[in-house]
Structure 1
């Protein structure tokens, strides 16, 4: 990506953790619910994976967040077991690339194939870009300092526009 466009965006962050720990955080339901989701169910041919099992290409998923009654469903497109994952998300695609830099791992999240109509510019490009910025900072805080920044104590679901206004949704 050489210029900013509405059909994709990248988010990057260095995290002082092992490549294996970061892949676990993204590649298992146990890992992804430790810092990001309330619940993550991965299935292959209708059979649910165990929380500690690594996801595989072709898996279907159901994700549920704290403070949101909805859910996201999608499909794992790629998962190499070490440093790369790709999945469908909100009608788009998201890739996670992990690159070892010795003292830290560079995590690059790319969301792409975003429709460029006005509604998707607001909800997907703007909304997801802001959301991923927070969640990647949350992952860093979790792995480097053992704290979570997302709101789990207060119920924000009845507050209009909470998903657009609270920075730690």
Structure 2
């Protein structure tokens, strides 16, 4: 068994859907804003790509969430067109998404690695992102299996100073 450490974490979830649908949810702007983001932009060679176009290695992204004024910018490190996506996230971290058809459902695995080992990163990235991804993968399952979104899009949670740590549907 692999030992747990502060350098990386993995979250897994079974979802009753197809590999193709799950890949679309991660690999297109249309897919990402259907369950995850308020808005997203992908660019290739400094040109914005179409909302329905699949991302490719070396594309850049900018993501915007509901209830957060910031943005996340990064680079697509790998996108094989079927079941693997890898991108930079939260500074120097790398997120790897793998999608595998199993006997009764599709297994989605998300690993966030290269987490700095200072105390601030342990709190904000390891703890914060680990909790965040747990919610977002649950939201993705809810969306694909029941057409229900669990994230808050109508109530402004930004006035709560610790909203990202206290609200479970941020």
Shorter-chain TM range is over 0.9
State the shift of 1:145 in Å.
0.4
Counterparts of 1:58-97 in structure 2, within 5 Å, are 58-91=58-91, 92-97=93-98
Partner of 1:45: 45
**Distance (Å, rounded) in 2 between the aligned partners of 1:95 and 1:165:** 26
Of 127-136 and 97-106, more deviation after overlay is shown by 97-106
Q: For this pair of structures, how many residues does the alignment match?
A: 169
Question: Aligned-pair RMSD on alpha carbons?
Answer: 0.8
**Distance (Å, rounded) in 1 between the aligned partners of 2:79 and 2:68:** 27
**Distance (Å, rounded) in 2 between the aligned partners of 1:7 and 1:100:** 28
- Asked whether 1:103 is paired with 2:104, we answer yes
**Distance (Å, rounded) in 2 between the aligned partners of 1:53 and 1:94:** 21
Partner of 1:127: 128
Tell me the secondary structure at the aligned position of residue 33 of structure 1.
helix
Tell me the secondary structure at the aligned position of residue 138 of structure 2.
helix
**Distance (Å, rounded) in 2 between the aligned partners of 1:153 and 1:62:** 22
The TM-score with structure 1 as length reference comes to 0.99
Tell me the secondary structure at the aligned position of residue 34 of structure 1.
helix
**Distance (Å, rounded) in 2 between the aligned partners of 1:87 and 1:78:** 7
**Distance (Å, rounded) in 1 between the aligned partners of 2:163 and 2:11:** 23
Partner of 2:28: 28
Gaps (5+ residues) in structure 1? none
The TM-score with structure 2 as length reference comes to 0.98
Partner of 1:150: 151
**Distance (Å, rounded) in 1 between the aligned partners of 2:161 and 2:69:** 13
**Distance (Å, rounded) in 2 between the aligned partners of 1:2 and 1:160:** 36
**Distance (Å, rounded) in 2 between the aligned partners of 1:168 and 1:52:** 26
**Distance (Å, rounded) in 1 between the aligned partners of 2:103 and 2:9:** 26
